[in-house]
Structure 1
């Protein structure tokens, strides 16, 4: 098959995995079912999933380096189905104090492990097919993860309205299983002696050799963790991902709160504004991935990071003023999603640039624990701030502060040419 087939398959895999970005759609139905007023206990499953996602990405990176992508995809598909099956089984448990543990195991632990194992192979595989354009290639493949909510948000909301929350879980689990198994059959690494250029044209060979994202060394995981570059990447990743993951984990209740402030009908917010907002933000999230990947290929990954994080910080401050109406909120938040999509794109070529591609899977997997840390703290912190203060407003200020710290670090690195 032509090498461009693999980014397409990778995007399809990630599109299905991107259903986790719709997770907040379940909160209101579960609050009604179990008579809950707080959001934080429900967001905790999302936070657990984000944390175990990156644990699984790290484990999956080690397995991928030895076995290739198929095993991770098939095991991940099974875990996702089991997790959603456990979610379906909650219909038999009426007491939240009992049900919550199954909820955290199925839709937190199992979902996180399934997403992480599968996700660990998509960018890693495609970058091997595109050593000449790693930023664009990883951006395209991760595009699918971002666009997932555009497809799945209206579908999940339809299921919720028609069959209820528990039947929705089992239907979503079956979709995961079917799509991932079929896609996994065709997804593979390039041959060991693979070269992207068939033409003998010397200029093309030169463009590959001197591409700005071509690594100069190949470090082992043990060697990588002894460098300052590893910890700088990890810290910047954690701070920069916080904003996007905090908003994604709470987007439905954030929109509900904004709608209530503006006097919108809650049914209209739930059935129309929230699914539509998830679709639009998903599109911007997805489009930001190839865009920022191409930017990093042109100006360098650290300069691209600096620009991305600074724009995010500014937008979060603006968001605090537009928060009074769900439509004005949407106009600003879509650009935060656009930048967040770039965050996920930028760190895979940055890892390859700093440490090489030979042991990329396991090194990138460990770098991605920063993303999981941001997911764990971002979603939970946003919900906790809302439960303590009655508003998400102060969570925007916290996210802006962390984005500015990430901007400062990236600026220093860019000036010192650490890469």
Structure 2
């Protein structure tokens, strides 16, 4: 992590709680970066807006890209799968570079902005689909991964005492920022203007990401807001409830230490399943709706509503988890996500537009809510100092879920039709709720056990 230098030294001290965790207190947010820490909520949110269209609006451009480049539908879905693969693959190494100080937050954001632009330019001018895989799938995916990892972990560092709602709000930008582009790609872009539209979108998104990232700053390691005493019960009822339901990690786990705990890999697998369902819905809701006879405008509306609720759900669910606990919230979200897949299938087969729109929104809510929950839960379980790397390990499950949800999803649809694919997705979602029951923080140090100096018998003495 890159720490901020000071023009004049600012008094601070380090305190330890009963578990031995160290907190750095005394410096205010204004002392560190010259502005309130709320900026480190809205700027990361804007950065997430800038990368959202690549995942959530890309499949809306399927028809135009197919006609313009003569790419098959299979290539379109695999392009998205490759994008998700690289977006997730960069999370852990980016976290390692960020925490070592070799990759400042500003640099990560500028590289992400460049990757976003290259992705759209390659879609516009690719002479062969391989160029699109390299430009959009790899470069744009890596760029989005850098932005995502930087933004999500930045807000958790600045709000260690109440990270759920803030992390959810920032994470929400990754979804509803795509809404105008869904309509743009579906209703406006055609063979006559697709290159100009794609380049224009790339320039706009690149500018937003670069402008937001230019002002990023990390707090010092272990920083804690001076108005919240880490050793006492907070007076603020909101902060007190959040810390009671989601206690801070007893220590700052290194990636090696976190990797040795079974719960991290259980989180990895749970995110693999739920993220795969989310990506499956993003990739196949539009073609499923069209095959069921819904008009293109209705399908675009459904996808937009899904993106809006997906993004809104991320913020709302973070706020809820601060109040009822991360694990309990995750169980409910998995149940909702799994049930929604059956609803989307039934509504399409019934030809019920209102029911289809409703189930699409519910699916979007569940699919979006899982990401901020896992981001905040990772910090709750393993601490904030190495959260970029630790969450990078958990988030790396999206390497597989992207390919499974999009690319392999196309294979399942071809073999089992939409009925079998949605039933499988729904069943996996319900099974994920069962797995979430077993997600608990690594054992916190309890009372120290001291041997009885006066054993009652020879058996105890031996």
Aligned counterparts of 2:200 and 2:254: Cα–Cα separation in 1: 42
* Cα contact 1:382–1:392 (8 A) shared by 2: no
Q: Could you say if the C-alpha distance between residues 101 and 315 of structure 1 is closer, same or farther in structure 2, counting changes exceeding 3 Å? A: same
* Cα contact 2:330–2:370 (8 A) shared by 1: yes
TM-score, normalised via structure 1 length: 0.88
Match of 1:69?
A: 105
* Cα contact 1:229–1:354 (8 A) shared by 2: no
Once superposed, which parts of structure 1, at least 4 consecutive aligned residues long, lie more than 4 Å away? 191-194, 199-202, 208-211, 416-419
Query: For each residue in 1:29-88, what CA deviation from the matched residue of structure 2 results, as whole angstroms up to 9, or x when unmatched?
Result: 12223456x522210000001011011122221222124421110011111212222222
Aligned counterparts of 1:203 and 1:364: Cα–Cα separation in 2: 27
Aligned counterparts of 1:14 and 1:193: Cα–Cα separation in 2: 25
How does 1:339-350 map onto structure 2 within 5 Å? Answer: 339-350=366-377
Query: For each residue in 1:257-284, what CA deviation from the matched residue of structure 2 results, as whole angstroms up to 9, or x when unmatched?
Result: 122xxxx5xxxx33x2233222211111
Could you tell me which of 242, 248, 258 is aligned with 1:214? Answer: 248
Match of 2:59?
A: 24
How does 1:167-246 map onto structure 2 within 5 Å? Answer: 167-191=196-220, 194-198=223-227, 203-204=234-235, 207=240, 210=244, 212-246=246-280
Q: For residue 187 of structure 1, give the secondary structure of its aligned residue in structure 2.
A: coil
Q: Could you say if the C-alpha distance between residues 15 and 101 of structure 1 is closer, same or farther in structure 2, counting changes exceeding 3 Å? A: same
How far has the Cα of 1:182 moved from its partner? 0.9
Aligned pair 1:385/2:416, yes or no? no
Match of 1:374?
A: 401
- Please list every run of 5 or more consecutive structure 2 residues that lacks an aligned counterpart in the other structure: 1-34, 445-462
How far has the Cα of 1:210 moved from its partner? 5.0
Aligned counterparts of 2:257 and 2:186: Cα–Cα separation in 1: 47
- Please list every run of 5 or more consecutive structure 1 residues that lacks an aligned counterpart in the other structure: 94-98
Q: For residue 412 of structure 1, give the secondary structure of its aligned residue in structure 2.
A: coil
TM-score, normalised via structure 2 length: 0.81
Query: For the aligned residues, what is the CA RMSD?
Result: 2.4
How far has the Cα of 1:13 moved from its partner? 0.9
Aligned counterparts of 2:317 and 2:187: Cα–Cα separation in 1: 33
Structure with greater proportional helix content: 1
Match of 1:403?
A: 429
Aligned counterparts of 1:405 and 1:14: Cα–Cα separation in 2: 30
Q: For residue 49 of structure 1, give the secondary structure of its aligned residue in structure 2.
A: helix
How far has the Cα of 1:158 moved from its partner? 5.4
Q: Could you say if the C-alpha distance between residues 167 and 227 of structure 1 is closer, same or farther in structure 2, counting changes exceeding 3 Å? A: same
Aligned pair count reads: 400
Q: Could you say if the C-alpha distance between residues 413 and 119 of structure 1 is closer, same or farther in structure 2, counting changes exceeding 3 Å? A: closer
Match of 2:439?
A: 413
Select the structure of larger CA radius of gyration. 2
